[in-house]
């Protein structure tokens, strides 16, 4: 018996085969889940995501364009999903955005209002926006599970993470308030705080070049996190194994965040 047999849901945030969302989707499918996908609007983005899904063995994915910063696109995306699927058991929110010029060491002080707000909008508010639109279908099916991706920079200062740290703090707090309000509908909401993984998004953050070496030398597990580590925690959170877990932020970072120095 696979842990996610019979479960169907949405993966938001694959850019390519290095994305955390890609690794999560792979792990979910290995446990029997059916996944539907988004891609950023544009032919090149669609092509990249399609190619990465082919690599996972998915020749004809259910996939629609989505700029999560636009309410009308979110409405259309969730309506299309609901039209084509009987159930929504899970949502994987694995998206973030901030201007890379602001993600450089010493540049937090330069953050303009508009970029501060847009980082929070795309990286945190969209979790609420997706939960809003998915709630009714999830509740009709007897409940569900929503996860999002955070990082240690939400809690402590990581030089260069800057406005993204502010956005991740908002994401983790949004996670808790959603968990509180959606619990009565049997919808669980949790965050995974992932370790550093080289992806398109993380390569925009300045000062990370030495991070893998530091983690390999100092983390309790003496290695960097792999996509599959996060994928397996996603399986747990989206499965009945985590039936009593909601509102949490679970660290999957080989233990680096427990160290004081």
Interface pick for ligand NAD out of 4, 7, 9, 13 (rule CB under 6 A):
13
Residue 52 within binding range of ligand NAD, rule CB under 6 A? no
Residue 67 has which token pair? 């700029």
**Of 4, 10, 11, 15, the one binding ligand NAD by CB under 6 A:** 15
User: 145 - beta bridge partners?
Assistant: 90, 188
Cβ burial of 183 (10 Å; 0-12, 13-18, 19+) is: middle
Active site residue 161: yes
Is residue 93 within 8 Å of 172, Cβ to Cβ?
Answer: no
CA dist 249 and 260 (Å) reads 19
Instruction: Looking at residues 164 to 193 of the shown chain, list those that interact with ligand NAD (rule: CB under 6 A).
Output: none
Taking CB under 6 A as the binding criterion, the range among 66-74, 82-90, 130-138, 234-242 that sits at the site for ligand NAD is 66-74
- Asked if 97 is part of the footprint of ligand NAD (rule: CB under 6 A), the reply reads yes
Contact between residue 225 and residue 196 where contact means Cβ atoms under 8 Å apart: yes
Closer of 94 and 145 to ligand NAD (Cβ)? 94
Residues 21 and 10 sit within 8 Å (Cβ to Cβ): no
Binding to ligand NAD (CB under 6 A) within 210-249 occurs at none
Rounded-to-integer distance, Cα 253 and Cα 69, Å: 29
Residue of 8, 202, 233, 249 that binds ligand NAD (CB under 6 A): 202
Determine which residue in the list 91, 96, 120, 235 makes contact with ligand NAD, applying CB under 6 A.
96
Q: Check residue 77 for interaction with ligand NAD (CB under 6 A).
A: no
Active-site choice (81, 116, 161, 236): 161
Known catalytic residue: 20?
Answer: no
| Whether 108 contacts 125, CB under 8 Å | no
Segment contacting ligand NAD by CB under 6 A, of 63-71, 136-144, 178-186, 232-240: 63-71
Among 8, 94, 174, 224, indicate the residue that binds ligand NAD (CB under 6 A): 94
Two tokens, residue 223: 């290695």
Which residues, 6 or more positions from 95, have their beta carbon under 8 angstroms from its beta carbon? 12, 13, 68, 122, 123, 126
Residue numbers at the binding site for ligand NAD (CB under 6 A): 13-15, 19-21, 40, 66-69, 94-97, 122, 149-151, 194, 196-197, 199-202
- The catalytic site residues sit at 151, 161
């Amino acid at each position: 018996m696979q842990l996610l047999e019979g479960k169907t849901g949405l993966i938001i945030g694959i850019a390519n085969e290095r994305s955390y969302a890609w690794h999560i989707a792979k792990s979910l499918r290995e446990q029997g889940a059916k996944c539907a996908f988004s891609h950023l609007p544009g032919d090149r983005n669609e092509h990249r995501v399609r190619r990465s899904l082919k690599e996972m063995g998915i020749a004809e994915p259910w996939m629609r364009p989505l700029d999560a910063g636009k309410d009308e696109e979110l409405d259309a995306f969730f309506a299309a999903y609901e039209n084509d699927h009987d159930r929504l058991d899970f949502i994987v929110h694995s998206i973030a955005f901030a201007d890379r010029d602001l993600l450089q060491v010493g540049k937090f002080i330069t953050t303009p209002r508009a970029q501060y707000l847009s980082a929070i909008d795309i990286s945190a508010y969209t979790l609420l926006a997706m939960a809003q639109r998915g709630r009714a279908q999830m509740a009709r099916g007897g409940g569900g599970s929503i996860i999002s991706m955070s990082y240690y920079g939400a809690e402590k200062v990581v030089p260069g993470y800057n406005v993204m740290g502010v956005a991740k703090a908002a994401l983790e707090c949004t996670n808790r308030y959603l968990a509180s309000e959606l619990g009565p509908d049997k919808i669980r909401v949790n965050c995974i705080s992932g370790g550093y993984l080289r992806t398109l998004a993380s390569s925009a953050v300045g000062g990370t070049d030495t991070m893998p070496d530091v983690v390999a030398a100092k983390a309790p597990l003496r290695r960097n996190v792999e996509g599959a580590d996060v994928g397996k925690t996603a399986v747990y959170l989206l499965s009945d194994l985590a039936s009593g877990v909601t509102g949490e932020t679970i660290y999957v970072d080989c233990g680096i965040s427990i160290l004081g120095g």
